[in-house]
Each structure stands twice: as structure tokens, then as C-alpha cells.
Amino acid sequence: MRRLMGVLLERLAASVPDATVVLAGRDVFEVDFLTARPDALAQVVAECRAACANAVHIEKISCLPKLVISGVIGRPEDDATGLIERAEAALAEAELAAAIPDVVGTGETADSVVAELDGALDRGEMVLHYQPKVHIRRQAIDCIEALVRWEHPERGLVPPGDFIPATERAMRMERLTLWTIAQAIVDQRALRAQGHDLRIFINMSGHLLADADFVRLACAAIVAAPDARLGFEVTETSVIRDPDAAIAHLRDFDRIGVRISIDDYGAGLSSLAYLKQLPACELKIDKLFVTQLTSSNRDPLIVRSTIDLAHALDMEVVAEGVETQAALALLSVMGCDMAQGYFISPPLAPAPLAAFLAAEQHRQATQDVRGSFTRRAAGWKRG
Ligand code: C2E
Ligand code: MG
Ligand code: MG
């Protein structure tokens, strides 16, 4: 992805030499230019399209980029933040307009995946694995993230990436998510009985956030379990889809004690205008920026400024994808609150998770991250 974006950046910069072109996100370019000509925007858009019309070849892969372009013309009253917010909102609209045919379409593949998934739920083949989020300064684990897996009788343990995107495209995540909430509550009680009282965060698909019927059912399930301590991980992209409904529903969840976490920050659509309205207590920096933290020049700057932004908005920051001691040490120095990743623990089934917690294995990974530190042999397998 990085190499692809690098090639496109070069092409765009060459095709619009009077503009400043920067990579403004995982897959977003910002093209800034000053002009007095009213037709300049249309011309720059045409030049950008032409620059990306031919496939990019990287090693054996050829990729034809699909562009979504939006443009805003600065007004005299715009400050930098206002202009960026307007540009982000325009891009979000353009992206949604481009995505809607895919989102509403329920192709055969999606239908068959959903039918299989229904059967899997009926047969009890779905399981939840849990990955700890470690508080770096306190070296404590207060919460874990639930990640669904399918124990397929023939294919073995199927990761969520193989079935969730199709289920989301078919807008059929409701049953799986209600099952996840119920199963997380059961697993939480079992862990509590073993002395581990942890809040469980559940991933919430975008289309469910705007679905009033789903929200009613989810709230009813949670309220019926007064001992449940849950959180939902949502992406900003899913809020931007239908902001009024999503924000109202997130407030409903917040009112019944469900904590809200912004997942995959930096990887999708992002809007400061919406971010500051969300009742979120936590922001998770996407692993894209964390896995290369110590080998990239740009990523530490992005991570550092995201930590400052989240703290300014009174949110705690979780870095996901922490794979090395060096990354953990740098995050600690940058003031990141929590870390999640293979360096601490992969997602684990409930029984190995309880053993991990009982052995306090996370302390081995987090102690003295700022100084010289040799990681002791860890008792888990990389997942
Ligand atoms: P996510 O919520 O961003 O979850 C993080 C993913 O990163 C997980 O993949 C996790 O196993 C992986 N990961 C953890 N530590 C590291 C690390 O150090 N390095 C790297 N490279 N990766 C790491 P997983 O479990 O395959 O889940 C993928 C995605 O599937 C999740 O991304 C989430 O968007 C979705 N998902 C999983 N379970 C559910 C669910 O119950 N409901 C919904 N709606 N989505 C789910
Ligand atoms: Mg997540
Ligand atoms: Mg994530």
C-alpha cells in the first residue's frame, strides 16, 4: 500500500506542478493550490484523473487505482481547521456516493456467506478470542477486545477478515453482533469468577450504528445484564455514513454505561467535526502507523500528533499493532496510554487468556520500557 501510494504521489505531483500534493492519510491525498481562475478546480481534477488512469505495477501485482475526488474552494472566512473540515466532509460525501452501489448490493457471494454464517451460529461454531489492552504506565490490564473466529469443521479457525466484510456488505451483522454481546457477557462472568474483572470491547459494524431496531435490541440485552461492563469499538467512517443517527445511538449506549472507542483511527475517513461530537473515551491508532513506528520517518509524527489530539479531546489513546519492544518504548515516551499487539499478547481463547492474566505475563512486556530491557521468553505463540 505504501509503495502504491508513493508511486501515485509522484505521478500527482508531476501532473499538477503548481500545487502542493501530500499524503494525508492511508489512502488520501491532499492537493492544495492558489488560483484566481474559476475553472482551475475542474482542470486540476482532470489532471489528477489522468495521472491515475494507468495501472501501477509493483513486483508481480498490477493495480488500477479507483479515485474518489472532492474539491472545496477556500473562502476568506475559512481558517485552516475550517477548510480541512469542509474538505473532509466533502470527501466523505463523495466516498459514500461512490460506495453506495456496493453497500446496498447483496450479491450471491454475500448471500451464501450469510447463509453459512447463520448455520455456524446455530451449530455453535463461532467463538470469541480476546486481546488485552495494557495500560503502559500502570502495567495493568483493565480491558480486552473481543475478536470473533469461526471454528469451521473443515477449514479450521477462520479469521474474521474472511467472513465479516461480506456479511457487512449484505448488511447482515445484526445476529452475529447480538450473539457476540451475549457471549462476551458469559465469558466476562467466567473471567470475573477467576478474579479478572475486565471491561470487554466489542467491534461494531458501521451499518448497525444507524439501525434503530438493532440499537434497541442491543441496549435491551445489556440492560438485562446489570453486571456487564462493555465497550463498543466503532470507526469514524461508520459515523460519517449517517452522523445524526450514529451520534444519537452512541449517546444511548453511553447512557447505559457502554464505553465508546474510536477504532482504526487514521485508516479510513476522518472528520474533526464529528470526532469532537462523539461520546468516546478512547481512540485507537490504526496498526498501519504503529507496526512501522520505529522504521518510518513520518509515522512517529502522525502518532505523536494523534496522541496530543486525543488527549486534547479528553480521550485515552490505545496503539494497536504493537509488535516490538522498541515500538512500545517509543509509544511510552510519546505519552500513549495503552498498547495492544503481539508483543504483549495475540488474541487468546478464554482459557489461555485466564492463564496469561494469572501469570501476569504482560508485566514482562511493559516493565522498564524506557530503559534497557531484555524481553523474557514469552509463553504465548504468535497468532
Ligand atoms: P480490529 O478491530 O482493528 O482488530 C485488530 C486486528 O489486528 C485483529 O485481527 C488482531 O488479531 C490484529 N492484531 C492484533 N495485534 C496485532 C499486531 O501486533 N500486529 C498485527 N499486524 N495485527 C495485530 P482480527 O482478529 O483478524 O480482526 C480483524 C478485524 O475484523 C478487526 O479489526 C475488526 O474490524 C473485525 N472484527 C473482528 N471481530 C469482529 C466482530 O465481532 N464484529 C465486527 N463487526 N468486526 C469484527
Ligand atoms: Mg477493534
Ligand atoms: Mg483496530
Per-residue pLDDT of the chain (383 residues; tens, 9 = 90+): 778 888 999 999 999 888 899 888 777 888 888 887 878 888 888 888 888 888 888 877 788 777 778 777 777 777 777 777 777 767 766 665 554 333 333 344 556 667 888 899 999 999 999 999 999 999 999 999 999 999 988 888 989 988 888 788 778 899 999 999 999 999 999 999 999 999 999 999 988 999 999 999 999 999 999 999 999 999 988 888 788 999 999 999 999 999 999 999 988 777 788 888 899 999 999 999 999 999 888 889 999 999 999 999 999 999 999 999 999 999 999 999 999 999 999 999 999 999 999 988 777 777 756 443 333 323 323 33
pLDDT at position 69: 80
Ligand nearest to the CA of 286: 3
Ligand 1, from 26, 179, 200, 203: best to mutate by most atoms within 8 Å of Cβ? 203
Pocket of ligand 1 from Cβ distances under 6 Å: 131, 147-148, 159-161, 164, 173, 180, 203-205, 233, 263-264, 287, 291, 320-323, 341-342, 347
Intra-chain end-to-end CA distance of the chain, in Å: 23
Cα dist from 306 to 124, 192, 303, 331, 339, whole Å: 40, 33, 5, 12, 14
pLDDT at position 375: 38
Identify the CA nearest to 234 among candidates 253, 256, 212, 216.
253
Identify the CA nearest to 198 among candidates 231, 162, 160, 163.
231
Instruction: Pick the atom of ligand 1 nearest to 323's CA.
Output: 18
Task: Name which residue sits closest to atom 12 of ligand 1, judged by CA.
Answer: 321
Identify the CA nearest to 41 among candidates 88, 87, 99, 9.
87
Q: Residue 84, exposed/middle/buried by CB under 10 A (0-12, 13-18, 19+)?
A: middle
pLDDT at position 169: 72
Instruction: Pick the atom of ligand 1 nearest to 286's CA.
Output: 3
Domains of the chain: 2-111 (no CATH), 113-382 (3.20.20.450)
Ligand nearest to the CA of 150: 1
CA geometry: angle at 281 spanning 280 and 287, to 5°? Answer: 90
Interval between CA 342 and ligand 2 midpoint (Å): 14
The whole-angstrom separation of Cα 209 and Cα 239 is 7
Q: Residue 131, exposed/middle/buried by CB under 10 A (0-12, 13-18, 19+)?
A: buried
For residue 327, what are the contacts with CB-CB under 8 A and spacing of at least 6?
A: 290, 291, 293, 294, 319, 341, 343
Interval between CA 42 and ligand 3 midpoint (Å): 36
Task: Name which residue sits closest to atom 46 of ligand 1, judged by CA.
Answer: 203
Interval between CA 4 and ligand 1 midpoint (Å): 23
